[in-house]
Amino acid sequence: MDLLPSENGHGHGSKLHVAMFPWLAHGHISPYIQLSKKLAEKGLTISFVSTPLNIAKIIKPSFATLKSPGQVHLLELPLPPVDGLPAGVDNTADLPIHLTPLFDKAVDGLEKPLEDLLGQIRPDCVVFDFLQWWTPRAAAKFGIPAVFFPTFGAAFSSYAIHPARQGSESTAEDLTKPPPGYPSAAISWKPYEALAVMGCNRPQGPNGISYLERTFRCYEHCSAMAVKTCDEVEGKFVRYLQEVIGKPVLPLGPLLPGVASRESDCLAWLERRTPGSVVYVAFGSNFFMSREDMGEIALGLEGSMLPFLWALRLPHGRDGCRVTDLLPPGFEERIRGRGLVVGEWAPQVEILRHPSTGGFMTHCGWSSLMEGMGAAVPFVACPMLLDQGLNSRLVCEELGVGVEVRRGDEGLLKREEIRRAVRTVMVDEEGRRVRTKASDLGQTFKSKISQDAYLKEFVGHLQSMVSKKM
């Protein structure tokens, strides 16, 4: 393990030393990587803490070409063994859903190892994610401030973790109503979404702490909260969130990854398409949809009669299976030459910024939305769980840069609604305003949003926290 000497910390005339501790999911690790890179470019020292497999497979390759004045140290914390949890399950992308309680138990077992590690490296502060509620407790033993960075947007966070939601008394009906003073009447959970979210309020695992309660403990005990967002997109929600939690809320900017120069079958396929003609379809690294949903999406895309590129990940237990084997009979033959379905990782940022890409059908994960906004593409919003429904209403109703796929009262996907939303966003006159607004927002990202200014303000706040504790 690569350890830093303790005298490196505490800001004594030197650059800050920040420890990063993301949740063990690709969609959470990636924003932490982007933040770490940008802080290292400003000369800060970064200790990036994760499990050995995540470091080897995701984190180390991401820093391989980094050239910056600041140092990045990758520090391993192996997951403790838990009966029933297979060895090598270090990331939620490799986690069968029924093993989630065991995975959570293993992660909770990292509190003492993290405490020992912080005692050795003595960073100036630790930045931590939304389920490791015990991180501030471990850091406090050494007087280290903890900054809560859950990787969600401010509109979701202020809606979901409002004090009015705390406790087991909240009902699904309560969750369909914005909390008091919430700055938008357009954003709320639909009843079927609220029922699913209620599961987050149930006691989980051996310690009996619900996911919602974990999140409340995170913001209650942190020194400040960081949000991957910008005033140009969520300014009023950032201000409301700060009012709600009574702690400083620090926008980090969009934290968009750079475009890499790479070869890819997807990009080669896009090169042969007309500019703005292709809808890119992807549902994130952690969500595995049912075969029924896959079928409805496939037939909706087919019915749109438009070119599409679909990055489709296989569910667990489907090793050796081709993704097209799970799609409707004859689908592959019928869309040949017009659509491409890939079953492996796809270079999403490069796809979104390719001239042939004209729309993005997405689950509305926050990082995906930020990447789409930065690429100036309109959204076909198809939220699946948790924060995604609120994110969808933000981009479609508040910002006007997308069209949400309509569902029935039970939340079922229907091919005709998928076809309608895709065509509206991509070609129909009804969607012209959406396309224009998406283009305008992309220009705002390009010309008006200063990532550097957000980071300077964030670093300034960290320096202020460090000086106050000395």
**CA separation for the pair 63, 38 (Å, rounded):** 11
Q: And the tokens for 372?
A: 């789409």
73 a catalytic residue: no
Q: Which residue bears the tokens 């037939």?
A: 299
Q: How many residues does the chain have?
A: 470
Nearest to 147 by CA among 255, 50, 226, 72: 226
Whether the CB-CB separation of 404 and 393 falls below 8 Å is answered with yes
Nearest to 339 by CA among 355, 321, 327, 348: 327
**CA separation for the pair 225, 218 (Å, rounded):** 9
Sheet holding 224-227, edge to edge: 72-76, 45-50, 17-21, 125-128, 146-148, 224-227, 249-251
26 a catalytic residue: no
Nearest to 258 by CA among 432, 34, 59: 34
Angle, alpha carbons 320-323-325 (nearest 5°): 85
Residue 86: CB atoms within 10 Å? 11
Dihedrals φ, ψ of 302, to 5°?
-60, -45
Catalytic pick from 28, 73, 354, 363?
28
Residue 217 makes CB contacts below 8 A (sequence gap 6+) with 133, 209
Residue 326: CB atoms within 10 Å? 20
Provide the terminal-to-terminal Cα distance of the chain, rounded to the nearest Å. Answer: 28
**CA separation for the pair 227, 253 (Å, rounded):** 8
Q: What is the DSSP letter of 25?
A: S
Q: At 265, is the secondary structure helix, strand, or coil?
A: helix
User: Buried (b) or exposed (e) across 103-138, using 16+ Cβ within 10 A?
Assistant: bbbbbbebeebbbebbeebbbbbbbbbbbbbbbbeb
Q: At 418, is the secondary structure helix, strand, or coil?
A: helix
**CA separation for the pair 417, 280 (Å, rounded):** 17
Q: At 416, is the secondary structure helix, strand, or coil?
A: helix
**CA separation for the pair 217, 133 (Å, rounded):** 6
Catalytic pick from 108, 124, 129, 387?
129
Nearest to 402 by CA among 372, 374, 365, 429: 372
Residues serving a catalytic function are 28, 129
